[in-house]
Chain A
């Protein structure tokens, strides 16, 4: 600390209020424009030269590097990307969900609406009569996936392009969620 004070005092810079330098205070050099900079013209010419270089470069190359031409080409999505939800199934094709309401409780957006029903199967107590997710409410945080004790809900579909013409279409039912396929490879997929 003492070193810093020493630096501030010995510096050639005059502090803005010379008497008010308190111990531990750091003196920062003011960024004052030099003569050439305050005329603007030289700096403007430099900037214009840079941007014109870019224009020429892109006119000749016509290969703007960053751009992904989305509808035709999609950017690769990373592993663990949280896309549209899907419900996993047992061997017989029924949903693994036991309607324990853990996901609906964990959901911060309260977008999961489950109506449970009693199962015929004595091994399975409950099953979801309805399992609706309002994708417009969903914040895609993935807490439902974490909360599920039976691995019934996942977000590994890789579907990120969710479009519809009305709000009702964004409320997906259990049947639709069971249809969603997992993303076979974590690459871009046009939906």
Chain B
């Protein structure tokens, strides 16, 4: 079954995954800043501009990145250099390694359409049998990065933050693992692509495992050390927690790892409970078979959508024009032109497609692209939930975190396993 193109495919898939993290993290930072601003009745970032284009503050990310790379990189005296430098590397490496198991689309198999001799492309860069177990094994290593950072920094705030973080991560690892067991009993496999396929054939996991999904989501919040479980870096008490003593890009790496962990957690939530890459109501076979029709419809919808977007932008421009008389005020016009261009291209593509039938191998590739798009859409929605919760809830106290983990979530996870087992045994499903 090996194909000579396989090594190339492995490299390409890995590059895709790294690209996803590196591309999504700035976007998530933007989502976080803009979302928090709107929640708090502020306009949020909107100033940084290139040639008058601000893109609703997206360009602040470029400024952020440039700033982080150019800031003075301070290594405080008294740190343990080796562990101090190793810590950010560990957390980033863990974030990048765990994301490799997420299935992004169904296996591209050209045999479906009768094309022989082409490579079979799996939808995840690390196509291994342990699946979800790999995530649990690797994700636990984050604690080493956190403890190294806290201990090697030679600062009481870092140490306290690291202690809290590792305690929280270790405590919540147990209900996290147990909450999945119920789901795995239903799916009958630990392989993530198989889990997603099961959900495509039956129903989404959230419907068969609502309690497990809830516990998993709560524990995922705790694993990523985000509000309401961000006691590790509670800035009102601990300055910034375990990365207090880090500056410039070394801080940036912790930042990257935090958002990377968020992406992986969201990816796992959707893979386990929300159908992964499954496009609702459309199986892979249906996508492959009807690739041409669906493409045409999407192009038509894209054209209509671009017209709506252009009119909205023009209304926006007329409302805003003349208030500040700044180059940036012409942004809606430029955007409208770009969107209109894209819409017209879609329309042209639609006409071309109506005349020319697409080649046979287009089907599997289209299915993969559509499923990948669906995966990213779901991922962004779950990431938005992370952001949304962060800017709504206050922080738990340390004892509350421990109580919730050990006294509520752990028994609930066990009860969930018991109930699932009883249902499976009694109804023999």
Contact = CB atoms under 8 A, between A and B. Distances in A.
Contact of A64 (B41, B324, B388, B391): B41
Interface in A23-68: 44, 47-48, 50-52, 54-55, 58-59, 62, 64-67
A55 B43 contact: no
Contacts of B40: 54
B38 interface: yes
Most B C-beta atoms less than 10 A away, residue of A47, A51, A69 = A51
Chain B at the A interface: SS class: loop
Given A66-B41, A67-B42, A67-B43, A55 B392 contact: no
Nearest to B326: A72
A51 B41 contact: no
A64 B40 CA distance: 9
Contacts of A62: 43
B358 interface: no
A52 B42 contact: no
A108 to B, nearest CB: 31
Contact of A59 (B38, B42, B389): B38
Contacts of A67: 42-43
Contacts of B39: 51, 54-55
B388 A51 contact: yes
Interface string B358-396: 000000000000000000000000000000110111000
B324 A55 contact: no
B35 interface: yes
Contacts of A66: 41-42
B388 A48 contact: yes
Interface residue range, chain B: 10 to 19
B393 A54 contact: no
Given A54-B38, A55-B35, A58-B38, A48 B389 contact: yes
Interface residue range, chain A: 10 to 19
Nearest to B42: A64
B21 to A, nearest CB: 26
B43 A64 contact: yes
Contacts of B41: 54, 58, 64-66
Contacts of B38: 54-55, 58-59, 64
A73 to B, nearest CB: 8
Contacts of A69: 324
A12 B37 CA distance: 46
A59 B393 CA distance: 21
A51 B43 contact: no
A4 to B, nearest CB: 33
A49 B35 CA distance: 14
Interface in B10-62: 35, 37-43
Contacts of A58: 37-38, 41
A64 B39 CA distance: 10
A150 B42 CA distance: 47
Contact of A51 (B42, B326, B392): B392
A52 B388 contact: yes
A47 B391 CA distance: 10
A48 B43 contact: no
Nearest to B325: A72
Nearest to B319: A62
Contacts of A59: 38
A55 B387 CA distance: 12
A62 B35 CA distance: 13
9 tightest CB-CB pairs across the interface, nearest first? Answer: A58-B38, A51-B392, A55-B38, A51-B39, A47-B392, A64-B43, A64-B41, A72-B324, A54-B39
20 contacts: A44-B389, A44-B392, A48-B389, A51-B388, A51-B391, A51-B392, A54-B38, A54-B40, A54-B41, A55-B39, A58-B37, A58-B38, A62-B43, A64-B38, A64-B41, A64-B42, A64-B43, A66-B41, A67-B43, A72-B324
Interface of A: 44, 47-48, 50-52, 54-55, 58-59, 62, 64-67, 69, 72
